[in-house]
Chains A and B, each alone.
Chain A
């Protein structure tokens, strides 16, 4: 009531409105604080603080003695001349691009098969649940399953399979093709997220669009191309950004399956940083490698959001239908 009287006494319309919105914004921020506060604290504690520490650490020559000896840009200069870092950068590019293709492309394929082509909803759901299983298992177990599957002896599942089928001698898959192994292992588990997101988006397209298209003479392929993909534009873009960023920083399956080997053949940037810091105890150098990754990730995120349009993505993410 007080506020109301105050506003009335203001002479001009425009400042009154401005003052009002200002008051509203401030009070709504205070109201929102209890809700976002806990997460804000978590983000500051576990994201912002480590980033700052890493940046500071990257200018030190910290080793197993854990002393903060500042060395200026020495780590960064070293990184520029490091041949292994070059290999890791190239591997990361291959790894992210290929896995992204599987995560988004194969995820989309799974979504289409389980929701569009499988008419029985329960069958589709069962299939989706099976694809989700690796996500519910700890990373170590998933990696162990792959190691067992790719076991170099004739008792390895893949070797046994090829031996029975083609009478082929056992192969050491991890030794001969480490990159395909880590890409497929990551892709198969990553695709399930895309599958779930895309399935939900496909299900939210009203039935009448499919009916209209098939009455108009569309084949299944036409429906996918002219109805499903345009409707899924925003979920697809979102998944692409999300997966690019998470793949850039992911290394746990690679660590567990190949450990970057053999001979750096599957060493990616994030894993290289880990190896430097926790393998050879060059904490300062490892931190410098991480900082480069953070900078690259931020740049990629900004560019992608600019290209795709962040506001549009947040607003149009929902499947909108007129009428």
Chain B
């Protein structure tokens, strides 16, 4: 079922939790609401569930306006960060609970619960209580409970946050596979950009109650619309340097405190709107930087610290007052305090306005 949020605003007292949010989620899409804590993503999810009522705007499921419908009439399945499994009920009773509330006959409930329990490998745990099973199993019970009533929409509120890291990575794949198999429209709230990037078809990035962008993970990663998205998406995060744009005849340079680099043709076209002398923020991802020897278009810096990550090394380099992170090969052997030169992959740079942080890319 498609989900449309139109001009949604939610206030708590004078605090605006969600400000004029518009989202258009297609049928069967897996969408992440991504943002730091307090950005309004959970509030949005609870409005989709019907627990909060928006102060303004409309929520449409399919072709139906559900803005004023109660949670029980919306047919959504929901999974919570703490799983919210009833401790006094067995696994069977927990999964059966939504069906019991619908007053389904006992034999149908039993059939459905057993069916979904097999699917989630919970058959042997049906008589246990939530406190007697592991975190990963509790997570599966919570998912089974959300899905047993065959909802049209699945809402996931940070479902992986309480799992240990190994399990989290395997559950990431499990949930993605499950969503694709069922083809159920799913909205997933997370503050972990890796989860959002790896699992979802589209990501809605939120900050301070407003939607920053709603696009595919690739697009958000390669062409972030503003500095917030650029910094929030990607790990390790994007590096930022304060520069001034200088136009000399045909050529365009970016001048920092200790360096001056020339923009290649493609970047020149992409950022043609920048004025001579305009202060901008240069953004570049750690993987688009290379440590080399002195040469043209390189930036001189000093190694601050080296963090080996196993597959590669993360080198922190001090350039003037800024500090940037560079991904170096595993066998890189620079030491703290040494001088290095950093070469930027100029086709992969991002330039943001120093005033509002918006991208200065022409197509953006």
Using a CB–CB cutoff of 8 Å, the interface residues on chain A facing chain B are: 206, 208-209, 211-219, 222, 226-227, 230-231, 233, 320-323
Contact A226:B80 (CB < 8 A) given known A215-B49, A215-B71, A323-B135: no
**What are 25 residue pairs bridging A and B, where the CB atoms are less than 8 Å apart in the complex?**
A206-B84, A208-B82, A208-B84, A211-B49, A211-B51, A211-B80, A211-B84, A214-B70, A214-B72, A215-B50, A215-B51, A215-B77, A215-B155, A216-B98, A216-B101, A217-B72, A217-B149, A226-B86, A230-B86, A320-B87, A322-B82, A322-B87, A322-B138, A323-B138, A323-B162
Q: How far is the CA of A142 from the CA of B267 in the complex (A)?
A: 84
Question: Which B residues lie within 8 Å of A227 (CB)?
Answer: 86
* Inter-chain contact A216/B145, CB cutoff 8 Å: yes
Question: Which A residues lie within 8 Å of B49 (CB)?
Answer: 211, 215
Q: How far is the CA of A164 from the CA of B29 in the complex (A)?
A: 67
Q: How far is the CA of A322 from the CA of B81 in the complex (A)?
A: 11
Question: Which A residues lie within 8 Å of B189 (CB)?
Answer: none
Is B102 close to A, CB under 8 A?
Answer: yes
* Inter-chain contact A211/B72, CB cutoff 8 Å: no
- Compute the total of residue contacts between A and B using a CB distance below 8 Å: 77
Question: Which A residues lie within 8 Å of B157 (CB)?
Answer: 208
* Inter-chain contact B83/A323, CB cutoff 8 Å: yes
Question: Which B residues lie within 8 Å of A230 (CB)?
Answer: 86, 88-89
Q: Who on chain A is nearest to B85 by CB?
A: A322
- Chain B 257-272 interface 0/1 with A at a Cβ cutoff of 8 Å (1 = within): 0000000000000000
* Inter-chain contact B77/A209, CB cutoff 8 Å: no
* Inter-chain contact B98/A217, CB cutoff 8 Å: yes
* Inter-chain contact A211/B97, CB cutoff 8 Å: no
Determine the main DSSP class of A at the interface with B: helix
| Most B Cβ at <10 Å: residue of A211, A212, A218, A227 | A212
* Inter-chain contact A321/B82, CB cutoff 8 Å: yes
Question: Which B residues lie within 8 Å of A217 (CB)?
Answer: 71-72, 98, 101-102, 149
Is B131 close to A, CB under 8 A?
Answer: yes
Contact A214:B82 (CB < 8 A) given known A321-B87, A323-B135: no
Task: Tell me how far the C-beta of A122 lies from the nearest C-beta in chain B, rounded to whole angstroms.
Answer: 12
Q: Who on chain A is nearest to B72 by CB?
A: A217
Question: Which A residues lie within 8 Å of B145 (CB)?
Answer: 212, 216
Is B217 close to A, CB under 8 A?
Answer: no
Question: Which B residues lie within 8 Å of A215 (CB)?
Answer: 49-51, 71-72, 74, 76-78, 155
Q: How far is the CA of A206 from the CA of B81 in the complex (A)?
A: 11
Of residues 83 through 107 on chain B, the ones whose CB sits less than 8 Å from some CB of chain A are 83-89, 97-98, 101-102
- Chain B 48-86 interface 0/1 with A at a Cβ cutoff of 8 Å (1 = within): 011100000000000000000011101011101111111
Is B46 close to A, CB under 8 A?
Answer: yes
Q: How far is the CA of A320 from the CA of B102 in the complex (A)?
A: 28
| Most A Cβ at <10 Å: residue of B51, B102, B138, B157 | B51
Q: How far is the CA of A241 from the CA of B157 in the complex (A)?
A: 40
Question: Which A residues lie within 8 Å of B80 (CB)?
Answer: 208, 211-212
**Pick the contact of B78 from A206, A211, A222 — CB < 8 Å?**
A211
Q: Who on chain A is nearest to B80 by CB?
A: A208
Q: How far is the CA of A76 from the CA of B101 in the complex (A)?
A: 58
5 pairs of A and B residues whose beta carbons are closest in the complex: A216-B98, A217-B72, A212-B84, A323-B82, A230-B88
Is B130 close to A, CB under 8 A?
Answer: yes
**Pick the contact of A211 from B46, B77, B85, B102 — CB < 8 Å?**
B46
